[in-house]
Amino acid sequence: QQKVQQSPESLSVPEGGMASFNCTSSDRNFQYFWWYRQHSGEGPKALMSIFSDGDKKEGRFTAHLNKASLHVSLHIRDSQPSDSALYFCAATYGGSGNKLIFGTGTLLSVKP
Amino acid sequence: GGIITQTPKFLIGQEGQKLTLKCQQNFNHDTMYWYRQDSGKGLRLIYYSITENDLQKGDLSEGYDASREKKSSFSLTVTSAQKNEMAVFLCASSIEGFQDTQYFGPGTRLLVL
């Protein structure tokens, strides 16, 4: 059974700082990695997906994928209090068991 | 744009009770999903449906039934609520399958007394 390991469990950064999250797949047969963000009391919202080695930048958010090590990271620069939320990574696996597997999440707190 | 509506927002049930959660989407998406969210365990797939009247089991389907009678709606039934159970049930939809972005509703919060 595929698993997605996410770290750290929680993170606190000052306003304007850099927040970084990590995620590793247990299975090499992933197609995409996704990053979702969930504010308290809401459903998760997709931030971005990545499937090629290297960096993908969207505004203040940068994802980095290393397929050889099955590792993806997300970096938020110039963090804002509104970025305080639960961040999930997820991986899409193909083949006969097509599915999306979520990590356990990282709780980010951005202190003003 | 579109929206996913989940009802009810909060659900308090008794042990052994059958409980039904409802989800509606106006994205005109083909695929709909039900996930369970427990603290510290991420999201786990209960059921999904790729089209009207289709049902596919996820990893957590035992103890649940689902129904997709219309393209726009997907309901989930907890067949026998477990005492002290507390979880958030999230409905989502996507254009086609797992390779597409999933759009989530706000969730139904379940507490079983």
Per-residue pLDDT of chain B (113 residues; tens, 9 = 90+): 899 999 999 999 999 999 999 999 999 999 999 999 998 778 999 999 999 999 999 999 999 999 999 999 999 999 999 998 899 999 999 998 888 999 999 999 999 99
- Mean pLDDT for A17-39 is 95
Burial tier of A51 (Cβ tally within 10 Å: 0-12, 13-18, 19+): middle
Please check whether residue B66 is in contact with residue B34, taking contact to mean a CB–CB distance below 8 angstroms: yes
In 3-state terms chain A splits into helix, strand, coil percentages (rounded to 5) of 5, 60, 35
Which chain A positions have a beta carbon within 8 Å of B4's beta carbon? 43
What is the DSSP-derived secondary structure letter of residue A28? Answer: S
- Mean pLDDT for A35-64 is 96
Name the residue of chain A whose CA is nearest to B10's CA.
Answer: A41
B50 touches chain A (CB under 8 A): no
The amino acid that residue A45 corresponds to is K
Best probe of the A interface among B4, B41, B54, B98, by most A CBs < 10 A, is B98
B39 touches chain A (CB under 8 A): no
Which is nearest to A87 in space by CA: A21, A33, A31? Answer: A21
Q: What is the pLDDT of residue B97?
A: 87
B98 touches chain A (CB under 8 A): yes
pLDDT tier at A99, thresholds 50, 70, 90: confident
Residue A45 CA to residue A59 CA, distance in Å, equals 16
Mean predicted lDDT score pLDDT of chain A: 94
Judged against a pLDDT cut of 60, whether residue A96 lies above it is answered with: no
Cβ separation A98–B92 shorter than 8 A: no
- For residues B29 and A96, the model is more confident at B29
Q: What is the pLDDT of residue B99?
A: 87
From the CA of B95, how many Å to the nearest CA of chain A? 14
pLDDT tier at A30, thresholds 50, 70, 90: confident
Please check whether residue A76 is in contact with residue A19, taking contact to mean a CB–CB distance below 8 angstroms: yes
First to last CA, chain A: 41
Q: What is the pLDDT of residue B85?
A: 87
Q: What is the pLDDT of residue B71?
A: 97
pLDDT tier at A95, thresholds 50, 70, 90: low
